[in-house]
Amino acid sequence: MEENDLDINELVQRYEQMRYMGKNIYFDADEFALLADYYNDFGDASEADHIVDTGLGIHPGSPQLMIVKAKILVIAENYQEAYDYLLGIGEDDGNIDFLLIKIECLLNLERFDEADEILNGVLQSEIYGDDLYTFVTEAGYLYNDVDKYDKAISLLESALKVDNNNEELLVDLSFAYEMINNFDKAIELNNSILDLDPYSFDGWVNLGKLYSMKQQYDKAIEAFDFALTINESDVNVLKMKALSLYLNDNAEEAVRVFKECLNDSPDDESLYDSLLEGYEVMERYDEMLEVIAQKEERFGSEGILLQRAHIYLNQEKYEEAQDIFDKIPDEEKNSIDFFILEGELAIYNKDYATAEMAYTLAMIDAPDDEIIVDKLANISMEQENHEKAAEYLEKLISLNPDFPTAKARLAFIRFEIGAKEPFDEIMKQFTDDELRSLLNLLTDNEDADYSTFDREKLLIRLNEARETRVLFKNIKY
């Protein structure tokens, strides 16, 4: 045990004994501050506050105690009150604790320029050595906490040059890089953590999550397996492993792991939905219905009819789906799942006006859902509303330039409408080989050979086809 640990333990023992015996409590200002910090660190803010107030009653105006008082206010998220209280201390550009609390208050009050001004002032001052390292590190943590990741990275990278074995620093720095989507750097730092502590459960879990975000699912699964050797019963890690298996196209194994999780945590409702997704990929609809029955038995019937109806849709059992749809209670008719169900049944019944309304309502809830936008494009085409279909397809291409057939469908629509500028715009998005295929379709000339045409000649020929209105109504959109 270090000498400081012995001192604080003796101090706490004296303090608690005096309180127990009802004696008047007297310590010097530094000792009061040390005691208050001790109880603060252990989460007993009320005791820390009592100690500070007692200390200030004996040592009014003590900067050490006033700083601890401000810390307590910050922990309670009373940032404006803490900042105003600090102003009563005056300026102390040499006190690291004072400056850090002031920065923390300003950051949480979103007075970022003022916080930066204090930070830059310290960095340009004559603070050196351990004090500077402590200040830079703690300031990095504070900027991380308010999502100012670039500034946090700059500070924490500087601190890392002084001590690259500080695990807390590495964790925060890895997190900051993750938040700016620099997953490679985050992985590098996380591996440094594991070099320091190969049995770090959190280190392996974070590594698995980072590899998952990079879509390197094999490595993610391996990292989660290492974490599970340290704590084999952690359901959250099992769930993440199962999700990685699912995304790695191993739905069978993912389902096995999800079922293992469900045995350990039968009250985790999300696991039932994860199992349903796995079974859906494998088109095992009977098992899906069994899981829904188990979910209904444990959690009640809310949302169950919708889920059953969607399973029948997947099986193209439209009459069964319609029967359930008609029984859905009013309070469940304002969700994206309901609108999609309504839209699909309306499409099946060729009621495109109802289908359009349903999918439009769905898009309000999920404006960037590619499948919903695609459905609206198809519905517009069925209604022969080419301009609206083109708008939806343009949105779809902006969301996903590689969405299957979206470019080709938009090209046919622009060809059908005949306006040159929109037609030219979509043509720019095609490769030369795609233009040749498109020209073959539009001119319907099986004997034509466009293999020697360069891009300019292909575009000229396509524009001629547009101008002469060579239309093919039999093309399926």
What band does 309 get if pLDDT is binned at 50, 70 and 90?
very high
What band does 93 get if pLDDT is binned at 50, 70 and 90?
low
Distance CA 252, CA 254 (A): 5
The pLDDT score that the predictor gives to residue 431 is: 83
The pLDDT score that the predictor gives to residue 17 is: 81
Distance CA 414, CA 397 (A): 14
What band does 445 get if pLDDT is binned at 50, 70 and 90?
low
For the four alpha carbons of 427, 430, 436 and 439, in that order, the dihedral sign comes to negative
Convert the pLDDT of each residue in 57-83 to its tens digit. 888 888 888 888 888 899 889 999 999
Over the Cα atoms of the chain, what is R_g? 32
Q: Which residues of 142-163 are buried (b: 16+ CB within 10 A; e: fewer)?
A: bbbebebbebbbebbebbbeee
What band does 446 get if pLDDT is binned at 50, 70 and 90?
low
Convert the pLDDT of each residue in 183-218 to its tens digit. 999 999 999 999 999 999 999 999 999 999 999 999
Contacts by 389-394 with C-beta closer than 8 Å and gap 24+? 389/413, 389/477, 390/414, 390/417, 390/422
Instruction: Kindly report the CATH number that applies to the domain delimited by 368-477.
Output: 1.25.40
What band does 477 get if pLDDT is binned at 50, 70 and 90?
very low
The reported pTM is 0.68
**C-alpha separations of 10 from 4, 14, 34 in Å:** 10, 6, 12
Convert the pLDDT of each residue in 136-182 to its tens digit. 999 999 999 999 999 999 999 999 999 999 999 999 999 999 999 99
The pLDDT score that the predictor gives to residue 6 is: 45
Nearest to 270 by CA among 306, 311, 238, 223: 238
Cβ 477 vs Cβ 441: under 8 Å: no
Q: Where are the domains of the chain?
A: 368-477
Helix (H) or strand (E) holding 103: helix 96-108
